[in-house]
């Protein structure tokens, strides 16, 4: 709780420090995974062109992204895979583990709790919570399900910094409040509701219904275009320009 207003939009002087664009941060995570794969394959170095192609981005964009974290490339050669991997990890704060608490061990929660991709990437699932008495006490992947009322104590004990909410929508806000009280700094929300949180808490939302609806929109748009059979009308300014709409991940959504 430093200073709520903060009031530094102009930044100016402080601008020189690392204010990495949101979009870049998300892509860094993608580069990171590809670098891990390249390392496994024994690659020593990789050029921006190669890495860009492999991750589906423009090479200039990739270089600019990397330039935000420093100049770790070697001109005429590329980037040293191991070194770059390390630098991105450090930038994203992955050099230290972040304990995750998962609330709501239903259908989705079970899948998440058993997913090895979290612990394997530095996000060990350190605690599970639910209200269902049939679930409290069972073990999933070696972790016991605790009652939601113990969120504060358990999260504090295990140093949880990130919470994941996989409860039904109506319960999400209440669960969120408890996680916040427990000192959780970030929340990944799977429930289809807009969470209210204090300013210092960061929330990201995974909303599959929204994903599908965005896809449905594109189907509809395509059908509308194809409808009149008149193909390839160059006069159609844009709207369907370069074909491969790789507009993936979700767009920036309300929390």
Partner DNA sequence: AGCCGCTTGTGAACGCACGCACAAAGTTGC
Partner DNA sequence: GCAACTTTGTGCGTGCGTTCACAAGCGGCT
Containing 24, the helix (H) or strand (E) segment is helix 22-40
Interacting residues with DNA between 62 and 101 (CB under 7 A): 63-64, 66-67, 71-79
Q: Which does 94 bind (CB under 5 to 8 A by kind): its own copies, ligand NAD, DNA, none?
A: its own copies
* Beta-sheet strands, E only, within 81-231: 99-103, 125-130, 139-140, 143-147, 160-165, 186-189, 202-205
Site string for its own copies, 67-86 (x = CB under 8 A): --------------------
Output the CA angle 139-144-149, nearest 5 degrees. 135
195 contact partners, CB below 8 Å, separation of at least 6:
165, 172, 173, 176, 187, 189, 203, 205, 255
From 52-60, 116-124, 197-205, 218-226, span contacting DNA (CB under 7 A): 52-60
Task: Write out the H or E segment, with its range, that includes residue 79.
Answer: strand 78-80
Query: For residues 161 and 182, what is the distance between their CA atoms, to the nearest angstrom?
Result: 9
138 binds its own copies (CB under 8 A): no
Chain residues 9-38 in contact with DNA, contact rule CB under 7 A? 21-24
* CB-based contacts of 38-42 (< 8 A; 24+ apart in sequence): 38/81, 39/81, 39/82, 39/85
Q: Name which of 103 and 182 has its Cβ closer to ligand NAD.
A: 103
Q: Which of 2, 10, 19, 107 binds ligand NAD (CB under 6 A)?
A: 107
Residue 238 engages ligand NAD in binding (rule: CB under 6 A):
no
Candidate residues 43, 82, 92, 131; the one interacting with its own copies per rule CB under 8 A: 92
From candidates 103, 125, 164, 176, binder to ligand NAD by CB under 6 A = 103
- The structure tokens listed for 11 are 């930044």
Under the binding rule (CB under 7 A), the answer on residue 3 touching DNA is: yes
Query: Is residue 165 a contact point for its own copies (CB under 8 A)?
Result: no
Return d(Cα 182, Cα 192) in angstroms, integer. Answer: 22
The residue ranges that bind DNA (CB under 7 A) are 1, 3, 21-24, 47-49, 57-61, 63-64, 66-67, 71-79, 235, 237-239, 252
The residue ranges that bind ligand NAD (CB under 6 A) are 103-109, 111-112, 115, 117, 129-132, 135, 148, 166-169, 171, 174-175, 190-192, 208
């Amino acid at each position: 709780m430093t200073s709520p207003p903060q009031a530094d939009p102009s930044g100016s002087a402080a601008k020189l420090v690392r204010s990495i664009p949101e979009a870049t941060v998300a892509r860094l995570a993608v580069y990171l995974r590809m670098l891990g794969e390249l390392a496994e394959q024994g690659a020593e170095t990789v050029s921006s062109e190669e890495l860009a192609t492999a991750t589906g981005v423009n090479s200039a964009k990739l270089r600019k992204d990397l330039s935000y974290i420093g100049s770790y490339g070697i001109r005429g050669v590329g980037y040293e895979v191991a070194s770059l991997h390390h630098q991105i990890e450090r930038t994203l704060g992955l050099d230290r583990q972040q304990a995750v608490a998962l609330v709501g061990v239903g259908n989705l929660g079970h899948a998440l709790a058993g997913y090895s991709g979290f612990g394997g990437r530095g996000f060990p699932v350190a605690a599970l919570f639910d209200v269902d008495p049939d679930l409290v006490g069972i073990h999933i992947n070696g972790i016991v399900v605790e009652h939601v009322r113990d969120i504060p104590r358990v999260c504090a004990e295990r140093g949880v910094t990130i919470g994941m909410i996989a409860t039904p929508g109506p319960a999400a806000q209440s669960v969120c409040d408890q996680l916040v009280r427990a000192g959780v700094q970030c929340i990944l929300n799977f429930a289809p509701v807009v969470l209210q949180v204090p300013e210092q808490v960061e929330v990201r939302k995974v909303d599959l219904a929204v994903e599908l609806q965005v896809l449905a929109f594109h189907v509809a748009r395509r059908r509308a275009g194809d409808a009149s059979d008149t193909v390839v009308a160059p006069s159609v300014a844009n709207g369907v320009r370069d074909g491969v709409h790789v507009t993936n991940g979700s767009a920036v959504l309300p929390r």
